[in-house]
């Protein structure tokens, strides 16, 4: 099984690259995130996931091992094949996926080609327990803790969800609302009521908008 390819980029397409390794060209399917890091004629090293079928050997390449780990995890969900897995990674890179799952942000997943509302719900449900157990870089510690259960938020889930819902009703995206509400909850502690959490979260969102 091929686990890694290192060579020169021979050519690029919308969702693939050809890696020239000592004169042998390997066709590798990639997410748009990985493709954006590649240039024709430049050296590259890709982490490879190999799928063997009766009629073909298919290679999927990733600039980072964390992206490959997410690809493996996503494709354990029924209805998520390799093409959809790459589509999800193109729409939501690894550093955001834990946050999306923690926030149960269906809308963020449905932005990926091939992911409808029902499949998005299935992904969020099936990966909620699995995602926190894989060691990946670049994600929010708060989101990872929320999934893995390592550091539960200091307010009850109902108040947190009410805060998130209020922020979404004000026009904020669910993911950014979840992040702001979680940070507000950690700052204010378990005595904070919903109105206090909303005010604190809005202050955080206001600061983020001014950056």
Same domain for 91 and 46: no
Helix (H, G, I), strand (E, B) or coil at 151: coil
Is there a domain that residue 106 lies in? yes
Same domain for 52 and 26: yes
- Report residue 93 as tokens: 């890179």
Predicted pLDDT of residue 156: 61
Q: Pairing state of beta strands 57-62 and 24-30?
A: parallel
Predicted pLDDT of residue 186: 80
Report which of 60, 132, 49 is spatially closest to residue 90, judged by C-alpha positions. 60
* Residue 118, domain CATH: 1.10.150.20
Is there a domain that residue 14 lies in? yes
Mean pLDDT of 188-199: 84
Pick the last residue of a domain from 148, 165, 189. Answer: 148
Kind and range of the H or E element at 73?
Answer: helix 65-74
Pick the last residue of a domain from 148, 177, 196. Answer: 148
Is there a domain that residue 132 lies in? yes
For residue range 31-70, list pLDDT tens digits in order: 999 999 999 999 999 999 999 999 999 999 999 988 998 9
Whether the CB-CB separation of 122 and 74 falls below 8 Å is answered with no
Same domain for 185 and 131: no
Same domain for 89 and 59: no
Q: Pairing state of beta strands 4-12 and 24-30?
A: unpaired
Same domain for 130 and 168: no
Enclosing domain of residue 128: 73-148
Mean pLDDT of 88-113: 87
Whether the CB-CB separation of 124 and 155 falls below 8 Å is answered with no
Query: For the chain, how many helices (H) and strands (E)?
Result: 10, 5
pLDDT confidence tier of residue 208, bands split at 50, 70 and 90: low
Is there a domain that residue 68 lies in? no
Is there a domain that residue 57 lies in? yes
For residue range 132-187, list pLDDT tens digits in order: 555 333 344 445 445 444 444 555 667 777 888 888 888 888 777 877 888 888 88
* Residue 36, domain CATH: 2.40.50.140
Mean pLDDT of 190-204: 86
- Report residue 193 as tokens: 């009521």
- Beta-bridged to residue 43, according to DSSP, are 8
Mind spelling out the 3-state secondary structure of 129-187? CCHHHCCCCCCCHHHHHHHHCCCCCCCCHHHHHHHHHHHHHCCCCHHHHHHHHHHHHHH
Pick the last residue of a domain from 97, 114, 148. Answer: 148
Return the number of other C-beta atoms located less than 10 Å from residue 135's C-beta.
7
pLDDT confidence tier of residue 204, bands split at 50, 70 and 90: confident
Length of the chain: 211
Q: Which residues, 6 or more positions from 57, have their beta carbon under 8 angstroms from its beta carbon?
A: 50, 51
The reported pTM is 0.69
Predicted pLDDT of residue 210: 44
Give the total number of structural domains in the chain.
3
């Amino acid at each position: 099984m091929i686990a890694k390819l290192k060579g020169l980029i021979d050519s690029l397409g919308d969702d693939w690259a050809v890696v020239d390794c000592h004169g042998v060209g390997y066709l590798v399917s990639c997410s748009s995130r990985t493709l954006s890091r590649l240039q024709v004629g430049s050296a590259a090293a890709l982490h490879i996931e190999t799928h063997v079928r009766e009629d073909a050997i298919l290679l999927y390449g990733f600039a980072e091992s964390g992206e490959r780990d997410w690809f493996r995890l996503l494709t354990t969900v029924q209805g998520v094949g390799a093409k959809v897995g790459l589509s999800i990674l193109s729409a939501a890179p690894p550093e955001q996926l834990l946050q999306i799952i923690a926030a149960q942000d269906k809308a963020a997943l449905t932005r990926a080609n091939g992911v409808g509302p029902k499949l998005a719900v299935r992904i969020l449900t099936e990966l909620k327990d699995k995602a926190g157990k894989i060691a990946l870089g670049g994600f929010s510690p708060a989101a990872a803790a929320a999934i893995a259960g390592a550091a539960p938020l200091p307010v009850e889930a109902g108040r947190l969800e009410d805060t998130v819902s209020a922020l979404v009703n004000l026009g904020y995206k669910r993911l950014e609302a979840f992040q702001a509400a979680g940070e507000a909850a950690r700052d204010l502690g378990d005595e904070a009521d919903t109105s206090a959490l909303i005010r604190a979260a809005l202050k955080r969102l206001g600061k983020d908008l001014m950056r």
